[in-house]
A and B are shown apart, each in its own frame.
Chain A
Amino acid sequence: MSAAAETRRRPLRAGEVAVLLLLPIALINAVGFILPVLNLARYSLNRARIGGGIEQVFTWENWTGIFRDRFYLDIVINSVGVSLGITIATLILSYPIALYLHRSHGRWRTFLTVLVISPLLTSAVVRTYGWIALLSDNGPVVGTIRSLGLPAPRLMFNINGVFIGLTEILMPYMILALLAGFGRLDPKVEEAARTLGASPTRTFWRVILPLTLPGIALGCLLCFVLAVSSFITPKLMGGGRVFLLATEIYDQAIVTLNWPLASTLSILVLVIFGAALWAYSAVLRRLD
């Protein structure tokens, strides 16, 4: 806008500019997220008809049902537990990589970063099939364990496979989140700890780890949410024997055609995400 042509027009205030800029995303969110969620909430209070219909009555029976039925309670506990386990495994495996990446420089760093991101360029379906080939009863991993004379565990079509596969699939997200949160980690601060008499181990626990907690919290939140909502990997690697929230929602919605129950479980997942987000912000508040 040229100033000369617009002299008569009042310049926009900062607040008005913000509203204008936020309007498109607010509209998309309203239509694409809020409305469907409200719809889900409504379905969860309706009754399912045998064979797929929805009876438009107000009832709490879906909600009371899932809390009374040991099967669904187990699915919720299982989902949260497995996702937490996967998050912790992902964190432990990703942390050293992220720390090394944070400290590397130049071309080497670029190369390593590309290596870390490259799995994201492949679809999770392909990577899951890769894991199935590796972990199946006739695969190289079980084969190696057998050849060492050890009792071979079943790694495929049970929770083990889901755990291994999801951990690997989520690692790039964790590494990127950790890297984003490593901003406060100044090499000079580590050096200061060393010259003050802290051994490498104590430097890690007293200085490096506390300074990287924001990154850890962010990575854990991200991976937990992704683990709870992951569907393809548990579906393919669980072999129908692993019951988690995402797979159960799919079964209820697509196989059993019980949309009210699927909606109820979906809202429950949202509640779990809300709890995770609350925990995350509580951690961040404590860190500050």
Chain B
Amino acid sequence: MHNFPNARSVAAEHLVLEQLGKSFGAVDVIPSLSLAVRKGEMVAFLGPSGCGKTTTLRMIAGLISPTRGRITVGGRDITHLPSHERDMGLVFQSYALFPHMTVLRNVAFGLEMRNVPKPEVRARALRALEVVQLSHLADRKPRDLSGGQQQRVALARALVIEPSILLLDEPLSNLDAKLRDEMRVQIRALQQASGITAVFVTHDQVEALSMCDRIVVMKEGHIEQFGTPTEIYEHPASPFVSSFVGRTNRLRGTSDSRGVITVAGQQIRAATAEAQGPVEIMMRPHRMRLAPAATDRNVPDATPVQGQNSLRGVLERLTFIGDLVQYHIRVGDAEVMVEEATRRDQGAPCAGTPVDLTWQASDTLVFPAAAS
């Protein structure tokens, strides 16, 4: 896990935030945030709205000044540098194209501000438009373009100046689902082709997981976890991360000294059982299986198969969503969801019948129960 950059990666660190903090009046939006982004990687700031991810991005861009801490890029302290001297490319959620300029002039703007010679400006802007496949719209005004096209112009405008860091602020949120998928692939491809260091702010876990090398999961101004998508998904550092990234079941139970967890009067095991006493256990719905209850007479054993957990419950309802069927099962006073891929020959159990849930003990995450 890379909660903090280790010694090996220091040489490649590009963007470093050191104890960065921001207060608005008496409200501490970001108490203290430290992280390092390596050169050439794409890092997502992922979290619910109000978690401080956009505030952090705006501090990196120089659009708001931090209350505390330092920002360095390639070892240079830029904390107090005005935004127009920072050399960053920012792509806004609302695109923020210049409505009074043509597409080409929009893309050329950053180069003109850098006093690049005129013929070169035109050539480079046209090339950037070619990269996002919009050369044919160079002389149009932004309002004549669709949302996806505007977003690509915004991307070209940010990339043409070859910034030291590309900042993306929820760039896909205003696009429809199909376009979003296309743009995800396109943005990632452009970022990898240019080798640019990028920071991607999003509240959409799919975007973060699919596009980024590493993810910073944020909550209330804190970093909950900083790791690769696999680490975040498979080894969430907290119940919050587990439930924010992907779907998850949360159950309450009690762990004893042997690592046996009692849930709703039934016993299960986890791969590691560090916590004792009241615990919260989490399982991914698609890692669980459902079967009609083996026999109606007996409660299943504590350890029926080595390394396998089992819970008995009652199937309350099932939801068909195309690729998946979601089963909602009542276990004690909790509800557990199981997802299975749909098959045509599926003999689904009826609602109201007792069922057995099974899953690998190693797929069970255990956290100390929250104080509340």
- Complex contact A191–B84 (CB within 8 A): no
Q: Is B36 an interface residue (CB 8 A)?
A: no
Between A195, A198, A211, the greatest number of chain B beta carbons within 10 A of the residue's beta carbon is seen for A195
- Complex contact A192–B98 (CB within 8 A): yes
Q: Is A186 an interface residue (CB 8 A)?
A: yes
- Given the interface pairs A191-B63, A191-B90, the reply to whether A196 lies near B109 with Cβ below 8 Å is yes
9 tightest Cβ-Cβ pairs between the two chains A and B: A197-B113, A196-B110, A188-B96, A192-B96, A195-B90, A194-B83, A210-B100, A198-B113, A189-B96
A165-199 vs B, Cβ < 8 Å mask (1 yes, 0 no):
00000000000000000001010110111111111
Q: Is A103 an interface residue (CB 8 A)?
A: no
- Given the interface pairs A192-B90, A192-B92, the reply to whether A197 lies near B84 with Cβ below 8 Å is yes
> Which B residues lie at the A interface, using CB under 8 A?
61-63, 82-90, 92, 94, 96-100, 109-110, 113-114, 157-158, 161, 167
A93-132 vs B, Cβ < 8 Å mask (1 yes, 0 no):
0000000000000000000000000000000000000000
Chain A residues touching B, majority SS: helix
**With A and B bound together, what is the CA distance between A184 and B98 in angstroms?**
10
- Given the interface pairs A191-B90, A202-B113, the reply to whether A197 lies near B96 with Cβ below 8 Å is no
On chain B, the residues within 8 Å of A194 by CB distance are: 62-63, 82-84
> Which A residues lie at the B interface, using CB under 8 A?
184, 186, 188-189, 191-200, 202-203, 206-207, 210-211, 287
On chain B, the residues within 8 Å of A211 by CB distance are: 98-100
On chain B, the residues within 8 Å of A191 by CB distance are: 61, 63, 83, 90, 92, 96
- Complex contact A196–B161 (CB within 8 A): yes
On chain B, the residues within 8 Å of A186 by CB distance are: 94, 96
Q: List 10 A-B contacts (CB under 8 A).
A: A191-B90, A193-B109, A194-B82, A194-B83, A195-B61, A196-B110, A197-B113, A197-B114, A203-B84, A206-B109
**With A and B bound together, what is the CA distance between A199 and B112 in angstroms?**
12
On chain A, the residues within 8 Å of B88 by CB distance are: 195
- Complex contact A197–B161 (CB within 8 A): yes
B263 to A: closest C-beta gap in Å: 49
**With A and B bound together, what is the CA distance between A129 and B96 in angstroms?**
48
- Complex contact A207–B63 (CB within 8 A): no
**With A and B bound together, what is the CA distance between A195 and B109 in angstroms?**
11
- Complex contact B92–A188 (CB within 8 A): yes
Q: Quick one: closest A residue to B105, CB to CB?
A: A206
On chain B, the residues within 8 Å of A184 by CB distance are: 99-100
Q: Quick one: closest A residue to B163, CB to CB?
A: A195
On chain B, the residues within 8 Å of A196 by CB distance are: 84, 89, 109-110, 113, 157-158, 161
On chain A, the residues within 8 Å of B157 by CB distance are: 192, 196
Which of A188, A189, A198, A210 has a CB less than 8 Å from the CB of B84? A198
On chain B, the residues within 8 Å of A188 by CB distance are: 92, 94, 96
**With A and B bound together, what is the CA distance between A188 and B170 in angstroms?**
14
On chain B, the residues within 8 Å of A199 by CB distance are: 82, 84
On chain A, the residues within 8 Å of B89 by CB distance are: 195-196
- Complex contact A195–B100 (CB within 8 A): no
**With A and B bound together, what is the CA distance between A196 and B90 in angstroms?**
8
A216 to B: closest C-beta gap in Å: 13
On chain B, the residues within 8 Å of A203 by CB distance are: 84
